[in-house]
Amino acid sequence: MLHYIGKRLLQLIPVLLGMTFLVFMIIRAIPGNPAQVILGQLASEEAIKALEIKLGLNNPWYTQYIDYLIGLFKGDLGESMRTVQPVSKEIWPYLAATFELAFFAILIAVIIGVNAGIISAWFQNSWFDYLAMVLALIGVSMPIFWLGLMEQWIFGIELQWLPTSGREDVRNPISSVTNLYVLDTIINGRFDQLGQVLKHLVLPGIALATIPMAIIARMTRSSMLEVMRADYIRTARAKGQKMFWVVYKHALKNAIIPVLTVIGLQMGLLLGGAILTETIFSWPGIGRYIYDAIQFRDYPVIQSGILIVAFIFVMINLFVDILYGLIDPRIKYD
Amino acid sequence: MGTKKIWSFMLLMLLALIVALAACSSEKETGGDKETSTDKENEGTTTEGATEETGEKVLIFGRGGDSVFLDPIAATDGESFKVTQNVFETLLNFGDEDTTINPGLAKEWEASEDGLTYTFKLQEGVKFHDDTDFNAEAVVKNFERWANGSEDKFPYYASMFGGFKADEGHVIESVTADGDYTVVFKLKRAQAPFLKNIAMSPFGIASPTAFEAAGDKFGDNPVGTGPFKFVEWKRNDSITIEKFDGYWVDGLPKLDKVVFRAIPDNSARLNELLAGGIDLADGVNPADGVTVEGDSNLQLFERPSMNVGYLGLTTTRPPFDNVKVRQAMNYAIDKQAIIDAFFEGRAQIAKNPMPPSISGYNDDIPGYEYDPAKAKALLAEAGFADGFEMELWAMPVPRPYMPDGAKVAEVIQKNLEDIGVKAKIVSYEWATYLEKARNGEADAFMLGWTGDNGDADNFIYVLLDQDNIGSNNYTYYSNDELHKILIEAQTEVDEEKRNDLYKQAQEIIFEDAPWVPLAHSTPLLAGKANITGFIPHPTGSDKLTNVDFK
């Protein structure tokens, strides 16, 4: 196992290196000059030239790329061109915000998605099955923008149950330690604010969970259906075991592997692809951080932001692969 | 697998859901016995529950984006100034609703005949938030700091005062203290908009003690003399400022705290206002104006217009190198229809490149009326009786001067079709759009401008002078006579004469028609009905000193 993990980590190096190269080339291929964007519309030609030199933008691309890589190996993610802050210092609050939201969303998606999938498979062709699958279909095809605004309208404005944006009650803010606010409230012992923070998570969490939930439900259902036709299930049932037991223990254990893959992929996607949700619910996350950076052609932020998200994505998948072995010992790593 | 089993399962799911929701509603209970828990917490923290218990007046201002810098001199974006305008003060202020010059940190000022020396008498007894005294020395130190900067650090200083200390174009010869409360500015050459420049947000006076100690990090902990002092900045999320007890004007500010929250989506921001999460929302869609007006809990604020939205015609690209074609474009477009449909009528038809609120506006310009027949005739005269094909660039982002670029482009496309011109609508991502338009790659492109200091020079010279080709003159329009007038106007200190020069300039531009000016829009804000004393400023940075709750 350790050998396997070591090998996988080694494989990471070329993957991430390739990633840096791709991102580096693509963002430089799109038109738009960072020096111009930074200096604004009133900037003079000379000032733009001077800033380009200062930022090293007039060097040949390979020099820039090598400088970037050397920095990376030293653990230096570069400095944001816009805010003149080191990316490594700036990025954590955004990453933490997204992480908290994504974790919450995947929790909702897994709990509801997996169970809905199981029940649908169990009661195949029942009204629940049809309803769940129709809902799942709507779920995958629902535009997040629309869903988000509807949620705000119903639960925020009409019912006044939940806050419609942000991460905390700004009239009574908490001081951030880890920037994971759920954790921060506990560390600070501010349990009154814990409720507020959780409330703020609900609407964006649901919006973000919708698509993964639908995908997980459908995946679980089809995987379960396949497994439930297997001989050992029939044997188990013939032995007179309770259906609940058969489904949740015997069948699920075998059906869950492909579902896990999907969950891992979705978690990764949520981390990088939550831009729309983050925009509607004004969630200060990594998606918006990178999106803004692209708007301003802030190369170091785009490069490092995408690199970090990619790294996490790969790590999650590694974690999922390791989980396979824990769930099903027959899976060999070599 | 009967229905019974499904029901029992549904029940199980419901149970799970209830457990999950209990996590949320238990907050309510913790809220209930908050008294006990917060009392304990209160020993350690100070702000806890202050809102309800002490009746602290907190205004939450929702806006489209976060600030980039809190050191005003480093910033160029409007969102930064919205905050710094309340933390810092300038020597001179703009009027409440216009860009006339009023006292600020300087109570009196005087200009010499030749416009080369300005003497400012300063307010006495003013303190910075860090208890440093505000005096002539502080002003000198601020200007020294700026003049020794570079364009990537202090961009507005360079563009307003012609560069830095060592630069040839630098307007300011010297800034010296004459006693404790008098500052003398000597200029190398007269600069007509000098006082207006001094009043701009970027030139907020900062505490010398603070910026000398903090260096590049001054923006992390800005210190000014303003009515509010900086508390906390959670990036991309919120900025909190609170009442400065030592503010030099008695009884002000009226609010205890202001929180600026970044809520990027316009509809989501209005939703948040309706849900009660914010008190004031910037950037309300024109289409939502009616909703706000119909809600008795809300009030609508109209920001006086200081912008122009236009369709630029690149004068170096055929057929737009032909003035008749450009005039024909002007006659072809139905501006009123555009304003009615996409600005909800909350805009004024533009006939000049600057809005009527700017002094020097030429109201005698007749403007091009919507007249397709005349447009067709002009095209025929120019040799394009059968029309031509062109690209029409549509703005990809909403801006106050252009709420929906794509839709407006469709109307223009239809208008042009009526005179036989086939326009293909294209659009790029914003930074790309600007870069390509700047390079003169567009036939016709939509764009706009919001004024910085309320001066005609900041519109006409910046947008249409030949000096600014490759910069903000995206149409590559060049006219020597116009150039001569605009340069003369820059140093003309006599207001009357100066206005005459700008009026002439507008006549020339009208004839040459490098643009189809479309609209001067009225940006909208919405707030709770109990807000008083809020006056939106045309520059977009609002002073919240007098704002209060009923």
Work out the mean pLDDT of chain A and round it to a whole number: 85
| B182 has pLDDT over 90 | yes
Give the pair of three-digit tokens for residue B446. Answer: 């939509």
B54 touches chain A (CB under 8 A): no
How many angstroms away from the CA of A126 is the closest CA of chain B? Answer: 8
Interface test with B, best of A135, A147, A170 (most B CBs within 10 A): A170
Query: Which single residue is written with the structure tokens 């027959």?
Result: A330
A169 or B82: whose pLDDT is higher? B82
Q: For B67-72, what is the mean pLDDT?
A: 92
Cβ partners under 8 Å of residue A136, min gap 6: A116, A213, A214, A215, A217, A218
Q: Is cis: bond before B72, omega within 30 of 0?
A: no
* Residues 26-85 (A) with a CB less than 8 A from some CB of B: 30-33, 35-45, 47, 50-51, 54, 82-84
Neighbouring C-alpha atoms within 13 Å toward the C-beta of B148: 7
How many angstroms away from the CA of B300 is the closest CA of chain A? Answer: 19
Predicted local distance difference test score (pLDDT) of residue B42: 37
Within 8 A of B149 by CB-CB distance, chain A residues are none
From the list A156, A170, A288, the residue facing B238 with the nearest CB is A170
From the list A39, A127, A289, the residue facing B236 with the nearest CB is A289
| B542 has pLDDT over 90 | yes
pLDDT tens digits for range A13-25:
888 888 889 888 8
Highest mean pLDDT among A227-231, A272-276, A283-287: A283-287
Map residue B39 onto helix, strand or coil: helix
Predicted local distance difference test score (pLDDT) of residue A184: 87
ipTM field: 0.84
Predicted local distance difference test score (pLDDT) of residue B31: 35
Within 8 A of A167 by CB-CB distance, chain B residues are 237
Task: With cut-offs at 50, 70 and 90, classify the pLDDT of residue B530.
Answer: very high
Within 8 A of B77 by CB-CB distance, chain A residues are 40
How many angstroms away from the CA of B135 is the closest CA of chain A? Answer: 31
How many angstroms away from the CA of A14 is the closest CA of chain B? Answer: 32
Q: For B324-341, what is the mean pLDDT?
A: 94
Q: For A298-306, what is the mean pLDDT?
A: 88
Predicted local distance difference test score (pLDDT) of residue B236: 87
Least confident window among A295-299, B10-14, B65-69, B144-148? B10-14
A189 touches chain B (CB under 8 A): yes
pLDDT > 90 in chain A, percent: 18
| B21 has pLDDT over 70 | no
A299 touches chain B (CB under 8 A): no
Task: With cut-offs at 50, 70 and 90, classify the pLDDT of residue B506.
Answer: very high
Nearest CA among A24, A13, A33 for reference residue A300? A24
pLDDT tens digits for range A192-210:
888 889 999 999 999 999 9
Q: For B139-159, what is the mean pLDDT?
A: 89
> Do A282 and B158 lie within an 8 Å CB cutoff?
no
Query: Which single residue is written with the structure tokens 């409360």?
Result: B181
> Do A126 and B6 lie within an 8 Å CB cutoff?
yes
For chain B, the C-alpha Rg in angstroms (whole number) is 27
Predicted local distance difference test score (pLDDT) of residue A254: 80
> How far, in Å, CA of A94 to CA of A88, rounded?
11
Cβ partners under 8 Å of residue B431, min gap 6: A31, A32, A37, A295, A296, A297
Least confident window among A51-55, B295-299, B347-351? A51-55
Beta-bridge mates of residue B238 = B234, B261
What secondary structure letter does DSSP report for A333?
P
| B34 has pLDDT over 80 | no
Predicted local distance difference test score (pLDDT) of residue B230: 96
> Do B13 and A115 lie within an 8 Å CB cutoff?
yes
Query: Are the beta carbons of B437 and B452 closer than 8 angstroms?
Result: no
Predicted local distance difference test score (pLDDT) of residue B5: 56
Predicted local distance difference test score (pLDDT) of residue B16: 56
Give ∠ CA A12-A13-A19 in degrees, rounded to 5.
Answer: 90
> How far, in Å, CA of A114 to CA of A211, rounded?
13
How many angstroms away from the CA of B418 is the closest CA of chain A? Answer: 34
Interface test with A, best of B27, B156, B231, B458 (most A CBs within 10 A): B27
Task: With cut-offs at 50, 70 and 90, classify the pLDDT of residue B17.
Answer: low
pLDDT tens digits for range A74-90:
888 888 888 888 898 88
> How far, in Å, CA of B505 to CA of B511, rounded?
10
Predicted local distance difference test score (pLDDT) of residue B199: 94
In chain B, the residue whose alpha carbon lies closest to the alpha carbon of A160 is: B275
Task: With cut-offs at 50, 70 and 90, classify the pLDDT of residue A188.
Answer: confident
Give ∠ CA B11-B4-A140 in degrees, rounded to 5.
Answer: 60
Q: Is cis: bond before B253, omega within 30 of 0?
A: yes
| A219 has pLDDT over 70 | yes
* Residues 236-295 (A) with a CB less than 8 A from some CB of B: 243, 279-282, 284, 288-289, 292, 295
From the list A41, A128, A195, the residue facing B472 with the nearest CB is A41
> Do A123 and B6 lie within an 8 Å CB cutoff?
yes
Nearest CA among B505, B523, B527, B537 for reference residue B60? B527
Cβ partners under 8 Å of residue B241, min gap 6: B83, B86, B87, B228, B229, B230, B231, B257, B258, B260
Task: With cut-offs at 50, 70 and 90, classify the pLDDT of residue B4.
Answer: low
> Do B261 and A111 lie within an 8 Å CB cutoff?
no
Query: Are the beta carbons of B208 and B133 closer than 8 angstroms?
Result: no
> How far, in Å, CA of B23 to CA of B46, rounded?
27
| A154 has pLDDT over 80 | yes
Predicted local distance difference test score (pLDDT) of residue B50: 38
| A302 has pLDDT over 70 | yes
B104 or B152: whose pLDDT is higher? B104
Nearest CA among B524, B291, B516 for reference residue B403? B524
Predicted local distance difference test score (pLDDT) of residue B334: 95
pLDDT tens digits for range B167-177:
888 999 999 99
pLDDT tens digits for range B462-490:
899 998 887 789 999 999 999 999 999 99
Predicted local distance difference test score (pLDDT) of residue A42: 62
B1 touches chain A (CB under 8 A): yes
Q: Give the alpha-carbon dihedral of B326, B327, B332, B338, to 10 degrees.
A: 80
B267 touches chain A (CB under 8 A): yes
Residue B304: burial class (beta carbons within 10 Å; 0-12, 13-18, 19+): middle
B442 touches chain A (CB under 8 A): no
Nearest CA among B345, B398, B237 for reference residue A278? B237
How many Cβ atoms from other residues are within 10 Å of residue B250's Cβ? 5
Predicted local distance difference test score (pLDDT) of residue B43: 36
For chain A, the C-alpha Rg in angstroms (whole number) is 24
pLDDT > 70 in chain B, percent: 90
